[in-house]
Each structure stands twice: as C-alpha cells, then as structure tokens.
Structure 1
Amino acid sequence: MQFKNTLEFAKELDVNDALKGYRDQFYFPKINGKDAIYFTGNSLGLQPKTAQKFVDDVMQDWAQLGVEGHFYAEKSWWDYHERLAAPMATLLGAKTKEVCVMNTLTVNLHFLMASFYRPTAKRFKIICEEKAFPSDQYMLTSQVKFHGFNPKDTIVEVKKREGEHFWRTEDVVAKINEVGDELALVLIGGVNYYNGQVFDMKTITKAGQDVGAFVGWDLAHAAGNIELKLNEWNADFASWCSYKYINSGPGNASGIYVNEKHLADDSIPRLEGWWGSKKETRFLMKPEFESSHTADSWQVSNPPVLSMAPYLASLEMFAEVGMPALIKKRNVIVAYLEFVLQEIDKEVETANFEIITPKERGTQLSVLLHGQGKELFNYLMKNGVITDWREPNVIRLAPAPFYCSFEDMYRFGQILKEGILQSN
C-alpha cells in the first residue's frame, strides 16, 4: 500500500477499516473538549462501554441474592473465573485447562516461581533481559535471596550489542548455552516494555529447555497485542496484565498459564489454598489438598468477581473480533504511524528522532527524541495526545487497533510537527 500523509488518505483508510465500529464502543478522555488521541493502551486500555453493565449485574445480584449469588446469580460467582479461561486461552494459544484468571501479574509470577524456580547447588542461575521491567527485576532478586543465593552470582542479563537498541535472538540463545547446566530458569518479557520488541519465544523456549531449564514468559505487553502460541511453543508457564491491551480496568486481575505437561505432576510444589482444590470436592472441606490437574490448582482464593466483570466484558469483544482481525489492522496502523513519523522527520529539519522499535514488533513504536526534551512530550499532552514518556528521552506510542483510527495517526503527526517547530 502506498501511504500518503494527508487527512483525506487517513479518512479513506478509516472508511475501509473493518473494525471502525468498535471505536464507538470505548470511552475516550477529553482534552480541550475533544476526544484525545490515545497512545497508552500499552499502559492502560480504554474502558469498553459494556463494562459498566457487567459490573452492575454483579452489584444487582449481590443486592438481591446476598451470599446466594455464589450459586444462583445468572453468572454464578463461585465459578465466575471459569468464564474467562476459554477466551483468554484463545488469546494465548493455550488450552483452557492451562489457564486460570487470578491475582495480579507480579503476585502470579511469585506463585509460579514457587513451582518452577527450584534451584540446586549446581543448577541455580536465572536468565532475563537487560533492564527488564523493574517489577520483574525486584521479583527475581527477592526470589533468589529467598532461596539463599546472591543475585549478583545468580541473575544473568542478556545485553544488547553496543550501539543497538534491540536484542538479537542468537545472543539470547548463546547466553543460554553458555550458562548451560547451571541454568535453572529463563524468564523474559515476551514484548519489551521500553522498545516494544517482540522476542522469538519459540526459539528461546526450546533453547532453554534443551539445557534443562524451565522457561517462563512475562506477557504484560504481549497478551491481546501479538499472536501467541504458548502450548505449541511448549512454554512452561506465563503470566500477563489484563489492563493494558485487554482493557479490563486499572490494576485488574491477571492470570496464569501452566503447560499441560505439568498439570498432572503432583510432585511440583505450589503455594496452595482452598479455592485451588478440586472443584467437585471443594465444599467437602477435606483436610488434604486435592488437585484438579488444571491451572486452577494454582489459585488460592475465591475469584474477585467485581474486578473480573469488566475483564469478561472485554474478553467477549476479543472473542467477537478475533486476534487475526486485530493483528491485521494493527500491522497497517502501526506501519502508517511509522510512515507519518518518517514524513515529519523529512519535513522538519530539526525533528531528529529515531524509531528504536525493531521490525519484530506489536502495537508499540518507541521513538527516541534526539535533541528534544520533555517539553515536546508536555506539548503533545496539552494538545490532545496522551502518550508515554520514558527517561531519558523516549516517547512510547501504542495505537491499539480496537479504538485508534488512522485519522488519529495523521492528526498526531501534525501536532508533533507543530510541537517541534515551536520548541526551536
């Protein structure tokens, strides 16, 4: 497709957008009386208009049924989480029994580490990416200390090459082979939060398992964004955020994936609780834990239904549209945004910015602003663009295909151009 940086061309793309009707199914923040150009679906997705009804239904059942809502609500509470497992499994490329919606991301990673980080005197090291998201860094460090190891000797970071902004798969694999039989675990963000790079999860998973390690993935920026095939790739475990691309609401519930090969293995340790015990015998109040041999066995508490309600509302939209359609639009709208940025760079002599996201990407483009300070970011925010600033001088742009339009991309380019001109 031959792109044009014109309003008419952007509107034409919108007319032909198969998903254009979904934009009206989300609430947009207003800036200067107009819908904002919203680029932060990689931090917090917009609210689906259907979410309120799903929450109201739970509140109404609570008012009318009290405790009986656990079993007699239209969407009974005691198994509410099960309604989310199948649509979430579809997004993950997993089997329903491998998925349980529960807790929040870092809590889940700690739970999964209890099962899949079992260091020995010889096999104790962990590989992660350089400058992983801080929460992952803190989690890994605390787990290593909990097991009595020194993080400096235990956590091995795969670095980017000098002068490059992305990781090379061959470097990750080489580091895995170098650590070899000392490697207990590989845990990497499937999509890097800073540069938007999509890692080759299939290749890295195989490499880690080939040397005898478990391999898990933090899918915070991947779930609902890119095609995932966790079962096919044979990943051991994963967790994700639901409040970014899945639009479930601020700080909302996460979930876990555990590969089916581990589900019936009762020798794997877990941090267990009543709600993780077998559904059919749970209310017999047996003193012994009885696994369901599904990912549900990793949950410890009954589901937080009020937070799961908007999560379910969004997953129903994903099931209706399907990831292939979202990915198809994502590829075009991100390519158009890249084109607009390149055109502004040509038109404005002082623009001088660099896209540091490699071609292995999802929805996000990270833009390094050479010679531009945070005043440009502030200008964008004041003039209707909600984007994200990362020190020292990177803005992250994530045009979520559910609700962003091609006209948004064109309008952003014009605001960016004006902001650069005014700052010089």
Structure 2
Amino acid sequence: MSSYRYSLAFAQERDREDPLRKFQSRFHFPKVNGEAAIYFCGNSLGLQPKAVREHLDRDLESWASKAVDGHFEGDAPWFSVHERSKAALAEIVGAKKHEVVAMGSLTTNLHALLVSFYQPNGKRNKILTEAGAFPSDMYALESQVKYHGLDPDEAIVEVGPRPGEHTIRTEDILQAISKHQDELACVMMAGLQYYTGQVFDMKAIASAAHAVGATVGFDLAHAAGNAPLHLHDWGVDFAAWCSYKYLNSGPGNVAGIFVHERHGNNPALNRFAGWWGHDEKVRFKMEKGFVPMYGADGWQNSNGNVLGMAAHQASLDIFQEAGMVHLRKKSVQLTGFLAFLIREISGESGVLEVITPNAEAERGCQLSLLIHKGGKAVFDEFYQNGIVGDWRNPNVIRIAPTPLYNSFEDVFRFAKILEQSLSKFA
C-alpha cells in the first residue's frame, strides 16, 4: 500500500475493501473490562475458531458410538488422522504433502529431528544458532551437544547483533557459517526471532550451510502461518513448529514437522523410532525391525491425539479457505499501517523504539516495541484499555495484528490508546 493516513475513516475504508474481513467473525474474542478485546497476541496464543466445537463433537460422537472401532470406521477414521492436515500444512510451510506431518510437541520434535540431522563427527561437531534464541531451543541444543559428549560452550556457535543494533545481519550469519565451515555439522535456528520479530533469510542460510557440508533446520514456531515459507524450494533439511500461535489450534496442542523429500526414503538415518512411524502396511503384524514410513510420517512415534487434531483442523480449514497468499498480502498492509501510526505518534518522544526490521521481507505481522520510558506501566496501560499484547522481559512489548481476525480499525484504535499512553510517559 503506497500511503496511509491516521484517520478512522481511512481504517474503515480499508476494512470495507478487505476480502478477508469475514473471517474475523469466525473466532471467539476474550473480554477485558467486559468488552471484546483488541487481540494482538496471536504470536503467543491464537484465538479459538468457533468451528472447534463442531470438529471436536464429530470425533467425540465417533468415540461414544464406535469406541475402538472408530480407528477404522466412519468418514474420518482415526488410523489416518494425521493425513487430515497435510494439504493445509504443506501450503502453509511451502512443502509437498509427504514432507509434513502433524505430530508431537515442538521441542520433542526438535529433539527427534536433531537425532537424525545433527551427527557430529570428529572436529565437525558444531551447531550454529542465533544469540538470544527462545529458551527451549537453547536447552534442546545444549542437551543434544551434551548427549554426544561435547561441551556446549565450544560446540554451539551463536551469532548475534552487532553492537548498538537489535537484529542480526544476514551477512554476519553467512560469514559465521563460512568461518566455521570445517567444523560445522548443523545450523539450527529460528525462522522468525521471537523477541525482535526478525524473519531470517532462510533460503540464503540453507544454501550457505549446504555449501560447507552442514545440515540446516529451523524452528518455525513464530513463522508458521505468519511469514512466507518455501521450505521445499529452499532445500531446508528439517523444520518444526507449534500450532497454538498463528495456527490457532489451542494451548499446548499438536505440533508439526517438515523433512525434505531427499531424506524421506533413507532408513539409514538415525532416529528414535516409534510404532506409528513404522510402515503402516505391516504395522499391525507387531514384529521386530523398524521399517520407516516414507517421508515425514516416518518420524512419528505415537498415534495422533485425535481430539487435538480435531481442534487443529478447525483452524487449518480456515487457512485453506483464506489462502496464504491473501493472508500475507493483508498482513503486510496491516503491519505497515501499524508501523506508520507508531512513527506518526511517537515521533521524538523517546518512549519507545520499534526494533523489528522495517523491510517487509524481514518481518511477519509482529512489531516489537522497545520501551525506553515507563517500563511495564506502558504495557499495563494498553491492557487497561482493552489491548491484549505480549510483554517480554526486560522491556519489550510485542504487538501482532494477525490477518485472520484483526482489522485496520483495530490498529487505529490501538494507535489512539498509544497516543494516550505516550502523553503520560513522554
């Protein structure tokens, strides 16, 4: 969008022209002080689709009326429950259907994938990641390194921002890959950095890692359903994500993985195998000798959580109906409007600074506001006025207008509250 205006009329005009506006009514909104909140916290927990209850009821009825026979009978037997979500997930992360599967939980899945794709050998034993990674990623990498008898302080290479900067330059990541090329076994980092909102150049990182003989994978917890992803075309080896943020499937619900098809029929890869990853044609023979399913399915351990998958599907159906291309287009416009209004309002006040990159290709819907004056009181002011955002210590407020259920008027109303707050703390 070439220009924005700080006016309610402008915001309402954009909403009238929005082809995705119908989806807002398909979600439940929490209330603050008795009024429906402006919910900008999908980067932490997405809203509940109203269709969740219908999806759950369908499988609950199958459980009630069929019991164990529900695994193989009915319109949607549980034996193949993991197949329901493949088409949507493939579109969301830019993959082929056999390269993705909904399973497990994020960090458990990362561990399972690292067993396969982090294979230290002699001096080639280092993992490269971003400095300030989400704690679960840091803990996973530390424990994987220790599992191989290595020292995390020596085996984990962290790339951080330059002094005085908040985000990490792509050139510095690529330079670090080159510097450690003879020692690097794996690159595993976020696709979108949770604190700053920076989207990394995953294509360039994957290419550089492969050029030096390293595998590459991404934690897409904050990218899946938010940023454009083309994992297959980028040649990424593996990836994992949760589904309760932008994918709106419910707190702690089923996660998902991607494994590039070049690894999809390689039984020689190390993996911690489980029954549901075994060849389904002979699975019920109950015999020794693990034979993995083709593709990402071969990394499954247990049968799917049917009720969790049902809630997950309620949101994925909406994603397929809306289309990732259309969602991204609106997201760029919504966040661009938010960035414009923040600049207009904050000016030289010195109260806050947007630390998320300004370039559209380097951010999703989230803007991270570094608070220089007022601290958490600024965040509390937002909440008291009906804005649900996310506070991250020591002093960042994350605001994420999501295209499925946020509007331009939501962004405008946030701006008016921001203006009111700045008058108190400037």
TM-score range, shorter chain: over 0.9
Counterpart mapping for 1:291-310 below 5 A: 291-310=292-311
- Asked whether the 8 Å contact 2:334–2:408 carries over to 1, the reply is yes
Equivalent residue, structure 2, for 1:221: 222
Alpha-carbon separation, structure 2, partners of 1:282 and 1:87? 26
2:419 equivalent to 1:417: yes
Q: Residues of 1 paired with 2:317 and 2:211: CA distance?
A: 38
TM-score, length of structure 1 as denominator length? 0.98
In the comparison of the two structures, how many residue pairs are matched?
Answer: 422
Residue 353 of structure 1 corresponds to 352
User: Corresponding residue for 2:158?
Assistant: 157
Aligned to 2:42: 41
What letter is aligned with 1:40?
C
1:270 aligned onto 2:271: yes
**TM-score, normalization by structure 2:** 0.97
Deviation at 1:32, TM superposition (A): 2.2
Letter aligned with residue 231 of structure 2: L
Aligned-pair Cα RMSD in Å: 1.1
- Where 2:79 maps in the other structure, the secondary structure is coil
Contact persistence 1:351–1:420 (CA under 8 A) = no
Residues in 1 aligned to 2:188 and 2:288: alpha-carbon distance in whole angstroms = 34
Secondary structure of the corresponding residue to residue 80 of structure 1:
helix
Letter in 2 for 1:392: P
SS at match of 2:47: coil
| Residue pairs, 1:197-276, within 5 angstroms | 197-276=198-277
Residue 419 of structure 1 deviates from its aligned partner by 1.9
* Structure 2: gaps spanning 5 or more residues: none
Following superposition, the deviation at residue 258 of structure 1 comes to 0.6
- CA offsets 1:32-85 (integer angstroms, 9 cap, x no match): 222111111011110111111101111111111111111113211111111111
Q: Partners in 1 of 2:409 and 2:264 — Cα distance?
A: 47
User: 1:57 aligned to 2:62?
Assistant: no
> Aligned AA for 2:353?
E
Separation of aligned partners in 2, 1:14 and 1:260: 41
Q: 1:282 is matched with which residue?
A: 283
Aligned to 1:385: 387
1:198-247 Cα distance to aligned partner (Å, 9 max, x none): 10000000101111111001000110001111110100000011111111
Deviation at 1:166, TM superposition (A): 0.8
- 1:344–1:351 Cα contact (<8 Å) kept: no
Distance across 2 between alignment mates of 1:191 and 1:227:
11
2: CA distance between counterparts of 1:351 and 1:102?
45
Offset of residue 420 of structure 1: 2.4
Deviations for 1:163-195, whole angstroms, at most 9, x for unmatched residues? 111111110010001011110010010000001
Distance 1:130 1:17 in 2: 38
How does 1:3-402 map onto structure 2 within 5 Å? Answer: 3-346=4-347, 350=349, 352-358=351-357, 359=359, 360-402=362-404
Partners in 2 of 1:272 and 1:266 — Cα distance? 11
For 1:164 and 1:2, the matched residues in 2 are separated by 28
Deviation at 1:90, TM superposition (A): 1.2
Q: Could you tell me how far apart the structure 1 residues matched to 2:3 and 2:265 are? A: 53
Identify unmatched segments of 5+ residues in structure 1. none
Question: How far apart, in 2, do the equivalents of 1:378 and 1:370 lie?
Answer: 15
Shift of 1:351: 5.4
Q: Are 2:187 and 2:215, in contact at CA under 8 Å, matched by a contact in 1?
A: yes
CA contact (8 A) 2:267 2:291 kept: no
Contact 2:351 2:425 in 1 (8 A): no
Query: Residue 292 of structure 2: SS of its match in structure 1?
Result: coil
Structure 2 counterpart of 1:410, which letter? Answer: F
Alpha-carbon shift at residue 378 of structure 1 (Å) = 0.8
Please tell me whether the aligned partners of residues 189 and 219 of structure 1 are also in contact (alpha carbons under 8 angstroms).
Answer: yes
By how many angstroms is 1:345 displaced? 1.1
